[in-house]
Amino acid sequence: MNQTLILTQPAVRGKAATFEELVQKHYRQAYNIAYRISGSATDAEDLTQEALIRAYQSFERYQPELPFANWLYRIIANLHVDELRRRGRARVESIDACEAFADIPDYTSDPADRVLSRELDGTLQQALDALSPDFRTAVTLCDIEGLSYEEIADIMRCSLGTVRSRVHRGRKQMRKLLGVP
């Protein structure tokens, strides 16, 4: 498709410029969410791109009372669930099967250690991957993105009580996987 032709048409140029602005503003945070809940860089890119496009195309459905980023996260979460259903498998693994987790060192003693940080990131991501999709999404939105329970409930379309339960059980499972004392 002739990109130059598209971008020079006034009716379309406005749309392209607006979409690019949308992407530039939100892609990093959206990618972070997508990466944490999908566990894969490739899946995260695909998830983020598709979510951005759908958010732009379905903008008439956006409700202003919800922050746009949260609405975008909702789309990402829904797309991820749809993708899991399409693949016909869940990401839930038995906690007992996660034998690769070693006791993590006391991270707080040397927070500037980059090597330790990278290893820890990988270990934490493995533990996240072992959670069920709902627990993983709830923990990611709460502890990584810092959203409130009410915002998480809006994104995941569930009650506050359900959010509270998912966050708590997700953290407990990760603590057990990682052997956090």
* Contacting positions for another protein (CB under 8 A): 1-3, 5-6, 8-12, 15-16, 19-20, 23-24, 27-28, 31-32, 35-36, 41, 44-45, 48-50, 52-53, 56-57, 78, 82-83, 85-86, 104, 107-108, 111, 117-118, 120-121, 124-125, 139, 142-144, 146, 148-149, 160, 164-165, 167-168, 171-172, 174-175, 178, 180-181
In angstroms, give the least distance from the CB of 154 to another protein: 14
Q: Are 20 and 7 contacting, i.e. CB atoms less than 8 angstroms apart?
A: no
Half-sphere exposure of 90 (CA within 13 A, CB side): 10
Q: Are 65 and 154 contacting, i.e. CB atoms less than 8 angstroms apart?
A: no
The full 3-state SS of 92-115, as one line of letters, equals CCCHHHCCCCCCCCCHHHCCCCHH
In angstroms, give the least distance from the CB of 93 to another protein: 19
Q: Which is nearer to another protein, 155 or 174 (CB)?
A: 174
